Amino acid sequence: MSYKTYIAMFVLSGLGAFWLTPLAAWLAHRYGAIDLPGPRKLHARPMPRMGGVAVYLGFLLPWAGLYILHNLITDEFQNSEKQFLSLVLGATAMLTLGVYDDIKGANALKKLLAQSFIAVGMWLAHFRITALQNPWGHAIDLGWVGLPITVLWIVGITNAINLLDGIDGLVTGVTAFMAIALAIINAIGGHVVVALLTVSLAGACFGFLPYNHSPARIFLGDSGSLTIGLVLACVGIASFFQDSHHAASPLISVPLILLGLPVFDTCRVMFKRWRRGVSIFQADKGHVHHRLLELGFNHRQAAWFLYAIAIITGSFSIALVLVGTHRQLPFTLLFCFLSLAAGFVWKRWARSQDGGNRHSDEPTPEDRPR
């Protein structure tokens, strides 16, 4: 039965990441990939930051079994083997970039250039945005414009996941829930191999989470957040954009809603930096998780609050796929309206909390000992 293969992939990837995390921590100490406390940091002691190695290896581990087993799913996998190996190669390149950054450090421009080269490589490997579904008519063929849009998508999603990685367990938990939603969407559409990719990613993230959830014993590091971002971006392309006849979304509403938390957070922060006249790559404490900590949430509460947001956006994305392409537009508009209303209520509540904090002698989260 196919569901047994899905469960086996999820469990094996989770166990693999869980068992390999102590090895990743040892490697981080061995090669100096240590995150030291500092003014912008939310931890008070040195932390190993190459957890992405464990997530990457855990993600790959169960795929070896597909070369041994023989069923309908393994037959489907063999038909898509070249695309899978291309994704593994791209993920390995992004992991290498992340490990280098974790150990040596790399400036934003160099990382952006390297990510762009990897994204072009993924386009050459046929992870391409070739068309956008039009809810009022035929799909829009992008032609040569597909290349820059594909690169922008891959680099943008990769960095959005990377920038979200600010508190214990946030990226691994949010990614796991988004990956589960993607797995369900692809299972509904009959995209078996893509569904298996997302199941394995979700399992690897859940396997790493016990070590990474607050209080964390190891950080994901750029080795993890960049690799996860690339896999999510490429799986998103395979899920929504490669087959215009079966594309699940009017324009790109479904993938943008599904990935709404990291995308919205990144766009909001970069827009605020631009308005202040500073570099959009300049690090600050303007991300949504920093805001939650300022409002009095602890790390666990902030992480679970954002997990809930990821579950909501994932569930709504699944619902959009189930209602059918030509009926998605009103539901998308409803989601946007509800999001704006929720954002307005959140803003009013946050301002009231700020007012209370200004008249309180309680220390801010940054001042509290950890």
- HEC readout, 135-190: CCCCCEECHHHHHHHHHHHHHHHHHHHHHHCCCCCHHHHHHHHHHHHHHHHHHHHC
Cβ neighbours of residue 113 closer than 8 Å, sequence gap 6 or more: none
Backbone angles phi, psi at 238, to 5 degrees: -65, -30
Q: For 324-369, write each residue's pLDDT tens digit.
A: 655 666 666 666 766 677 666 656 665 666 655 544 333 333 333 3
Residue in 214, 105, 103 with CA at minimum distance from that of residue 167: 214
Q: Residue 244 corresponds to which amino acid?
A: S
How far apart, in whole angstroms, are the C-alpha atoms of residue 327 and residue 306?
A: 28
Residue type for 36, please? L
Secondary structure class of 129 (helix, strand, coil)? coil
* Residue 315 C-alpha from the chain's centroid: 16
Contact predicate 232/83, CB 8 Å: no
Query: Residue 105 carries which DSSP code?
Result: -
Interval 99-126 mean pLDDT: 92
Statement: residue 58 has pLDDT above 70: yes
Q: What pLDDT band is residue 21 in, cutting at 50, 70 and 90?
A: very high
pLDDT digits (tens, 9 = 90+) for 237-296: 988 876 544 444 445 678 888 998 898 888 888 888 878 777 776 666 778 887 888 888
Pairwise CA distance, residues 61 & 17, whole Å: 9
How far is residue 280's CA from residue 270's CA, in Å, rounded to a whole number? Answer: 5
Segment 165-194 shows an average pLDDT of: 90
- Give me the chain's average pLDDT, please: 82
Give the domain ranges of the chain: 2-358
Segment 139-178, tens digit of pLDDT: 677 788 889 999 999 999 999 999 898 888 999 999 999 9
- Stronger pLDDT, 74 or 10, i.e. the higher one: 10
For the residues 304-326, what does the mean pLDDT come to? 85
Model confidence at 107, pLDDT cuts 50, 70, 90, reads: confident
Alpha-carbon span 165 to 222, nearest angstrom:
9
pLDDT at 362: 37
pLDDT (0 to 100) of residue 364: 38
What are the backbone dihedrals phi and psi of residue 176, each rounded to the nearest 5 degrees, phi first? Answer: -60, -45
Backbone φ and ψ for 223, nearest 5 degrees, come out as -60, -30
The one-character DSSP state at 296 is T
Higher pLDDT, 136 or 310: 310
**pTM for this entry:** 0.84
The tokens for 331 are 């539901």
CA dihedral 324→145→85→92, nearest 10 degrees, is -110
Q: How far apart are CA 314 and CA 319, in angstroms?
A: 9
Instruction: Tell me if residue 220 falls in helix, strand or coil.
Output: coil
Pairing of strands 47-48, 131-132: unpaired
Token pair belonging to 309: 């947001």
Which are the contacts of 344, defined by CB distance < 8 A and separation ≥ 6?
none
Kindly state the percentage of the chain with pLDDT values over 70: 78
Instruction: Please report, in angstroms and rounded to a whole number, the separation of the first and last CA atoms in the chain.
Output: 48
pLDDT of amino acid 246: 42
Comparing 364 with 56, which gets the higher pLDDT? 56
| CA geometry: angle 267, 316, 149, nearest 5 deg | 40
Phi (first) and psi of residue 51, to 5 degrees: -60, -20
Instruction: Of 196, 197, 205, give the one whose Cα is nearest residue 224.
Output: 205
pLDDT for 97 equals 96
Phi-psi group of 212: left, alpha or beta (phi > 0 → left; psi -120 to 50 → alpha; rest → beta): alpha
Q: Is the pLDDT of residue 57 over 90?
A: yes
